[in-house]
Homo-oligomer: A and B are copies of this chain.
Amino acid sequence: MSQQRQGSTPGNTGAVPAFPDLPEATIARLPEYLRALHNLAETGSETVSSEGLAAAAGVNSAKLRKDLSHLGSYGTRGVGYDVALLIDQIEYILGLDQRRAVALVGVGNLGHALAGYDGFASRGFRIVALFDADPEQVGQALNGLTVRHVEELGRAVVEEGITIGVIATPAGAAQAVADDLVAAGVTSILNFAPCVLAVPAGVDVRKVDLAIELQILSFHEHRKASLTALPGGRSPQAGNQEAVGS
């Protein structure tokens, strides 16, 4: 969904797939369920109904049940879902039991905030290396890590077993950084730079663009405003039908 995805040909011969190939839409919601489940676990709940979990995750309960049914049958009819079991299952599916190593490239304004964020560690990720091209930034300590020069990226990726790269450089440098990451063996990239990245097949790219989010909100503001201003009316200008013809 508005995300770049370069798939690989499965060529799967087995009847039941080694990996339940969930719908993309489902995958995107699993993290939200997981968060809700963790919250429930903290409050001491042993089980949740689909209704309860759906409410906590902000979705329709039918959708939640269908999503979870793709993982297998981990609920009990008449009772609900076992919270701890479901957490384990979702974390397993998402591959969060591996505590993935992440590299962050570009420790500027945004990079500093990301490097100092503790919300990643608590969700199964370790930022294990920071990189920048600016000599001023290189060498400084940030949250227990030393910023290294971007030229060392290739070596570090291999040594630290990094599989995910986060790009927080200006847009002009993003493609070059992405190329370096891919060359080093990174197969997943989270891109904060406002630009389209070209990557080979088999590499996943997800983009986060705050300006785009604001622009989408702006559209809805515009729409709402035009509706309240002219209730049931028509466009302020350019209200052309097929009427005003030659």
Which residues of chain A have a CB within 8 Å of any CB of chain B? Answer: 1-2, 4, 8, 10-14, 16, 18-19, 21, 25, 27-32, 34-36, 56-58, 72-73, 89, 92-96, 98, 100, 102, 109-110, 112-114, 116-117, 119-120, 123-125, 163-164, 187-190, 194-196, 202, 204, 206, 208-227, 230-235, 238-242
**Given A221-B100, A221-B188, A223-B19, are A216 and B31 also a contact pair (CB < 8 Å)?**
yes
CB-based closest 3 A-B pairs: A95-B222, A58-B196, A188-B217
Are B187 and A221 interface neighbours, CB within 8 A?
A: yes
Contact of A94 among B117, B196, B218 (CB under 8 A): B218
The answer to whether residues A212 and B31 also contact, given A95-B219, A113-B109, A224-B187 and a CB cut-off of 8 A, is yes
Q: A10-B227, A19-B226 are in contact. Are A117 and B110 (CB under 8 A)?
A: yes
Q: Which residues of B contact A220 (CB under 8 A)?
A: 188, 204
The answer to whether B211 touches A31, judged by C-beta atoms less than 8 angstroms apart, is yes
Most-contacted residue by chain B among A27, A125, A164, A224 (CB, 10 A): A224
B27 touches A57 (CB 8 A): no
Residues of B within 8 A of A209 (CB): 31
Which residues of chain B have C-beta atoms less than 8 A from A58's C-beta?
A: 4, 196
Q: Quick check: B211 and A208 within 8 Å, CB to CB? A: no
- Give how many copies assemble into the complex: 2
A-B contact pairs, 25 of them (CB 8 A): A2-B28, A2-B32, A4-B58, A10-B227, A13-B232, A14-B233, A16-B239, A18-B227, A19-B222, A19-B226, A30-B219, A31-B211, A36-B196, A56-B196, A72-B241, A94-B222, A110-B113, A113-B113, A124-B215, A125-B214, A164-B214, A190-B213, A190-B214, A190-B217, A204-B221
Most B CB contacts (10 A, CB to CB) among A58, A163, A213, A235 go to A213
Considering the chains assembled together, what is the distance between the CA atoms of A94 and B112 in angstroms? 31
Cβ distance A148 to chain B, nearest Cβ, rounded Å: 21
Q: Which of B16, B123, B217 contacts A204 (CB 8 A)?
A: B217
Please pick, from B28, B123, B221, B224, the residue contacting A211 in the complex, using a CB distance under 8 A.
B123
Give chain B residues whose Cβ lies under 8 Å from the Cβ of A19.
222-223, 226-227, 235
